[in-house]
Structure 1
């Protein structure tokens, strides 16, 4: 019997190929991480612009503002605490957080507080409208950035999808019910809703879809994505 001999050249070639694939994936992962944290930072900053406009906030931020008024805490800190509480609700719903989920809780509130610390209130109707429009458009861009990075949904998105899976109700119905509840609660606590809230509700979906296409990340060379996979086709487009 002739003993089999494994060609050394084949082994070397396979090792080189694997190493090359790993190196080629680094820029891909770097881009995804940059999109994730850039998007989350921009989300917090754009939400702060809506606060400064005084013309109404996103549904969840109506609640955050109301809680901030009652507790004396900053809006960003309240956003972070509420995000952590919502994340705990994932446990009975059997949802699994990703890097993007945890980062969502930690980054957006800090970015909002940092922006509120340096951005003055908008005075005069033209300036307030400009701040509102800029906040909504940038919020759509931020949503497209971090969702396209595919590191997992935000805690509020996961709550809605979890309730959808457990109750059998449509995502649209669950989202509507949850957001009506948080807006009503926020208003009762002193939060502000207005034309900005309505404009945000009708425009954020289309804006986010546009920016999802703009910031779509192509598959990693030589294989799938390194951390989180799946195309964001069914994203709820909310934090």
Structure 2
């Protein structure tokens, strides 16, 4: 395999591609087994990536920074603040005409479950080198998980639905949309008093390209 072929295979996607496992409609209550498999697998990988980032100890994702900031201002726990953010983001779906589905519900359940199940088995490095490497691995896994579960087309999670809705209405590349959202969310989280670190910056910068690349790979892999 030539280097040119490799670069072509990992070329980022500008939108969510249709694959052989994609559902024809996100509203179906009886998805194909392969579709449901890729949905569950993607969400679990996504949650594992989040757990790896948390265990690295050098900063969490921008959405968690925002949840911490809201908690600082209101007295809510991070979990309660995260739920409030999810509801607010779902309201933002309305003008974008996005449709929730099975994936929207399982997003909240399986990602949270994966984080709790995987956390006890993950290393917690204390030196900056291994911490950065672990954070990058986590970001890549979040990208891979996103590539699988978004292409299943059974309804994105609240945040990813907002991302894909903006992309579809604007025509902007999905990687740029994701970076823009993460940077804005991070900024509000910091203003409200949320904590962040090197890992947070790496996530904000790296998640857009990671998701776009993995969506591109998923699309070409299924051809």
Q: TM-score, normalised by structure 2?
A: 0.65
3-state SS in 2 of match to 1:46: helix
Unaligned runs of 5+ in 1: 1-27, 220-239
Alignment of 1:180 onto 2:149: no
Question: 8 Å contact 1:74–1:113 — kept in the other structure?
Answer: no
**What residue in structure 2 maps to residue 134 of structure 1?**
137
Judging changes above 3 Å, is the alpha-carbon distance between structure 1 residues 165 and 43 closer, same or farther for their aligned structure 2 residues?
closer
1:57-109: per-residue Cα shift (whole Å, max 9, x none)? 3322321343456646355x643442233223323543221222222233323
Matches within 5 A, 1:37-186: 37-67=40-70, 71=75, 73-75=77-79, 78-116=81-119, 119=122, 121-162=124-165, 178-186=181-189
One of 190, 197, 201 as aligned partner of 2:204: 201
Separation in 1, partners of 2:121, 2:76: 19
Moved more, 39-48 or 62-71: 62-71
1:175-234: per-residue Cα shift (whole Å, max 9, x none)? 566433321221234433333233333433333344335444859xxxxxxxxxxxxxxx
**What residue in structure 2 maps to residue 31 of structure 1?**
34
Separation in 2, partners of 1:164, 1:207: 16
Question: 8 Å contact 1:84–1:105 — kept in the other structure?
Answer: no
Q: TM-score, normalised by structure 1?
A: 0.62
Question: Where does structure 1 differ by over 6 angstroms across 4 or more consecutive aligned residues?
Answer: 171-174
Judging changes above 3 Å, is the alpha-carbon distance between structure 1 residues 120 and 92 closer, same or farther for their aligned structure 2 residues?
same
Separation in 1, partners of 2:162, 2:155: 13
Unaligned runs of 5+ in 2: 1-30
**What residue in structure 2 maps to residue 227 of structure 1?**
none
3-state SS in 1 of match to 2:51: helix
